[in-house]
């Protein structure tokens, strides 16, 4: 049981480190940091490289990340820009 927990800890550490690297690379080439983090997630996820296995914990983190992303977008959203576009 400990080895499975250790594997999850290593996977999450790897994911956080690579997400930071994607953030920095995207910022360096004048792109959105969100794009860098999403691309890293797609690359290391189970669909491409498979470095991160899909578990309930990863699914929970993915849902939490989506909620936080929508929350931040809501803060930056301005209804006046839609009503009066110039």
Q: Where are the domains of the chain?
A: 1-83
pLDDT band at 74 (very low <50, low <70, confident <90, very high): confident
Asked whether residue 32 carries a pLDDT value surpassing 80, the answer given is: yes
Query: Which tokens hold the place of 48?
Result: 């491409």
Q: At residue 31, what are phi and psi to the nearest 5 degrees? A: -115, 165
Query: Which tokens hold the place of 52?
Result: 């991160």
Q: What is the mean pLDDT of the segment spanning 60-65?
A: 86
Q: Hey, is 48 helix, strand or coil?
A: coil
Q: What is the mean pLDDT of the segment spanning 22-37?
A: 87
**What's the pTM value of the predicted model, to 2 decimals?**
0.64
Asked if 43 and 25 count as a contact pair (C-beta separation under 8 A), the reply is no
pLDDT band at 14 (very low <50, low <70, confident <90, very high): confident
């Amino acid at each position: 049981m400990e080895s499975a927990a250790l594997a999850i800890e290593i996977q999450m550490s790897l994911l956080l480190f690579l997400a930071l690297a994607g953030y920095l690379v995207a910022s360096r080439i004048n792109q959105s940091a969100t794009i860098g983090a999403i691309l890293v997630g797609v690359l290391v996820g189970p669909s491409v490289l498979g470095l991160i296995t899909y578990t309930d914990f990863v699914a929970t983190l993915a849902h939490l990340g989506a909620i936080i992303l929508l929350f931040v977008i809501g803060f930056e959203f301005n209804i006046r820009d839609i009503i009066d576009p110039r």
